[in-house]
Amino acid sequence: MGALAALANPSRLGIFRLLVEAGSEGLAVGRIGAALGLPSATLSFHLKELKHAGLLAVRREGRSLIYSANYAAMTGLIDYLTRNCCDGNPAICGLSVDGTKETA
């Protein structure tokens, strides 16, 4: 699963978490780099990897590139993990059969 491999890198995970928290408006590349202290060449590489994995969307606003999390891909990844974790037994993960969190 390419998304898991992309998120295995600490810098890419940090970028993805930042963009998930930013919401559908996303963030300009410069703001992402400033928030995470990543040099532009390194940031560009990581953004490319996340986009290639289908986890990010990008749009142009004037001269800026705005990146945002691809929530459909994120939901698909969570669904995949929920269905396939814990040896196929969602109850071990504290989840009901439909994938919702069980309450005690």
Ordered structural domains, the chain, with CATH:
2-69 (1.10.10.10), 71-104 (no CATH)
Longest dimension (CA), the chain: 51
Reduced to 3 states (helix: H, G, I; strand: E, B; else coil), residue 101 is strand
Task: Judge whether residue 67 has pLDDT over 60.
Answer: yes
Contacts of 60 (CB under 8 A, 6+ apart): 66
| Residues facing residue 61 across a β-bridge | 64
Q: What average pLDDT does the segment 7-23 reach?
A: 96
Mean pLDDT of 59-70: 96
Instruction: Note the pTM of the prediction, 2 decimals.
Output: 0.80
Res 81: pLDDT: 81
